[in-house]
C-alpha cells in the first residue's frame, strides 16, 4: 500500500516520505536509506543501481524512489558509481557495484532480512546483470528487477541520438563515450578535454528539466556553452547536442572505429548464469531506451524464471498518463510491478 501511494501516477513527484539516510564514505560512496535501529524490523534489502547520471542517487527522482522503497519497509543501499558519475559506459562497473552488495548483505545478515535484491535503472542493467551472474554472487542474489534496461548497445545508442521519439538531452553522453574511446590520434589538434567538459556542462544544465525536451528549448543553453569553444571544438560540441549537420557522419565514423571495444555491453553471455528470478519493467513510450530492448532481454532469458511488464504509467524519467481506454490494463500492470517489488521481502 505504501508503494501504491507513492509510486502511482497520482503521487506528487515533488514530495517524498521521510526516512533515515546515512552516507557511508569509501572508494564507492554508499547512500543507505531506512537502516534499522536496534530491535527494529524491515521487510528486506535492496541495492538500487543507478543509471548514467552526474548526480547518481542524489538525482532527486532516484532519491525519491529510494525513499519510497525505504518507507515501504526495505533497507536500501544506493552506490555512487564512479563510472556512471563520470557519464562513462565502461567495462568493470560491476566491480564498483560489488561494495554496495557486500554492505547490503552485511545489513541483511545483521537483521535477518534474507537475500539481497537488485533493482537497476536504465544503463544500470549492465553492471547489475553482470554482478548477479558472477560466480561469487549469483547464489546470493534474491531477485533482480530491471527498469528500462537494454539488450543491444548499438541500436540503443542509435535510438538515443537519431530515434524519432527520442529524448534529445541524452545525445551529448553518447558522443562523449565515443570520443573517449577514439583516442587522441583520431582527432589530431582537437581540444578533447574542452569538448568533453562542454558536453558535461550541457548535461548538468539540462538533465531533469523536462521542458527542455521540447523542440528548440535547449538550444540557447547549447549555444551559450559553444561560444566558449574554438571553431573546431564548437562544431563537434553542437553535433553532439544534435544541433549541427555533421552529427550523423561523425557518429557513424566514430562508432565504426570503437564498436569492437564495446562487446562487454552485451548482457546475453551473463543470462545463462543467473540464478535469481528476473522482472523486466519498461515503459511503452520510453524515449531513452526503446521498449524493444526489454522484449529482446525477455527472449534472451528464455526459460529462466522471469516476467516482462510493459507499462504506460511510467516512462524512462518519470510517470506518464496512458489513454483512458487502456487504464484498466495499465492498473493491473502497475499492481504487478508493485507486487514484484514487494516480493523482495520473501525469504
pLDDT tens across 304-338, in order? 999 999 988 666 455 555 556 667 778 888 888 88
The pLDDT assigned to 321 comes to 57
Residues of the chain with pLDDT > 70, as a percent, come to 95
Least confident of 25-29, 37-41, 78-82, 339-343: 37-41
The pLDDT assigned to 308 comes to 96
Asked whether residue 199 carries a pLDDT value surpassing 80, the answer given is yes
Cα separation of 74 and 60, whole Å? 19
Q: Which residues contact 31 (CB under 8 A, 6 or more apart)?
A: 21, 22, 23, 24, 57, 58, 66, 77, 78, 79, 80
Residue 346 sits at the vertex; the CA angle it makes with 345 and 347, to the nearest 5 degrees, is 115
Asked whether residue 218 carries a pLDDT value surpassing 80, the answer given is yes
The pLDDT assigned to 329 comes to 79
The pLDDT assigned to 243 comes to 95
The pLDDT assigned to 341 comes to 87
Instruction: Provide the whole-model pTM.
Output: 0.91
Average pLDDT over residues 109-119: 92
The pLDDT assigned to 320 comes to 56
Q: Indicate the average pLDDT of the chain.
A: 92
- Are the CB atoms for 334 and 311 separated by under 8 Å? yes
- The label of the residue with cell 537494454 reads 150
- Are the CB atoms for 94 and 127 separated by under 8 Å? yes
The pLDDT assigned to 344 comes to 74
The pLDDT assigned to 268 comes to 96
Asked whether residue 239 carries a pLDDT value surpassing 70, the answer given is yes
The pLDDT assigned to 316 comes to 47
Q: Grid coordinates standing for 341?
A: 517489488
What is the domain class of 2-152+266-345 according to CATH? alpha beta
Average pLDDT over residues 273-298: 95
Q: Are strands 74-79 and 30-33 parallel, antiparallel or unpaired?
A: antiparallel
| pLDDT category of residue 10 using cuts at 50, 70 and 90 | confident
Q: Are strands 141-147 and 116-121 parallel, antiparallel or unpaired?
A: parallel
Q: Grid coordinates standing for 309?
A: 511488464
CA atoms within 13 A on the CB side of 221: 21
Asked whether residue 195 carries a pLDDT value surpassing 50, the answer given is yes
Amino acid at each position: 500500500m505504501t508503494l501504491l501511494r507513492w509510486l502511482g501516477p497520482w503521487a506528487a513527484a515533488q514530495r517524498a516520505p521521510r526516512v533515515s539516510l546515512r552516507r557511508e564514505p569509501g572508494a564507492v560512496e554508499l547512500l543507505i536509506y531506512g537502516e534499522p535501529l536496534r530491535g527494529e524490523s524491515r521487510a528486506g534489502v535492496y541495492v538500487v543501481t543507478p543509471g548514467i547520471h552526474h548526480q547518481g542517487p542524489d538525482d532527486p527522482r532516484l532519491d525519491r524512489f529510494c525513499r519510497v522503497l525505504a518507507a515501504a519497509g526495505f533497507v536500501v543501499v544506493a552506490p555512487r558509481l564512479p563510472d556512471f558519475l563520470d557519464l562513462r559506459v565502461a567495462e568493470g562497473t560491476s566491480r564498483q557495484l560489488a561494495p554496495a552488495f557486500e554492505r547490503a548483505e552485511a545489513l541483511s545478515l545483521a537483521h535477518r532480512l534474507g537475500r539481497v535484491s537488485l533493482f537497476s535503472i536504465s544503463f544500470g542493467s549492465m553492471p547489475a546483470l553482470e554482478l548477479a551472474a558472477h560466480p561469487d554472487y549469483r547464489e546470493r542474489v534474491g531477485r533482480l528487477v530491471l527498469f528500462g534496461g537494454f539488450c543491444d548497445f548499438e541500436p540503443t545508442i542509435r535510438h538515443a541520438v537519431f530515434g524519432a521519439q527520442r529524448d534529445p538531452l541524452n545525445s551529448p553522453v553518447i558522443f562523449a563515450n565515443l570520443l573517449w574511446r577514439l583516442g587522441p590520434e583520431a582527432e589530431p589538434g582537437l581540444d578533447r578535454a574542452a569538448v568533453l567538459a562542454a558536453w558535461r556542462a550541457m548535461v548538468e544544465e539540462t538533465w531533469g528539466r523536462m521542458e527542455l525536451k521540447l523542440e528548440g528549448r535547449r538550444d540557447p543553453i547549447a549555444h551559450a556553452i559553444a561560444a566558449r569553444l574554438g571553431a573546431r571544438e564548437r562544431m563537434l560540441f553542437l553535433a553532439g547536442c544534435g544541433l549541427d549537420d555533421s552529427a550523423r557522419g561523425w557518429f557513424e565514423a566514430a562508432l565504426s572505429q570503437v564498436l569492437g571495444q564495446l562487446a562487454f555491453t552485451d548482457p546475453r553471455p551473463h543470462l545463462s548464469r543467473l540464478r535469481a528470478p528476473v522482472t523486466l519493467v519498461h515503459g511503452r513510450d520510453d524515449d531513452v531506451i526503446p521498449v524493444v530492448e526489454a522484449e529482446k532481454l525477455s527472449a534472451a532469458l528464455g526459460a529462466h524464471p522471469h516476467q516482462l511488464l510493459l507499462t504506460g504509467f511510467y516512462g524512462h524519467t518519470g510517470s506518464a498518463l496512458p489513454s483512458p481506454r487502456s487504464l484498466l490494463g495499465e492498473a493491473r500492470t502497475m499492481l504487478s510491478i508493485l507486487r514484484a517489488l514487494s516480493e523482495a521481502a520473501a525469504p
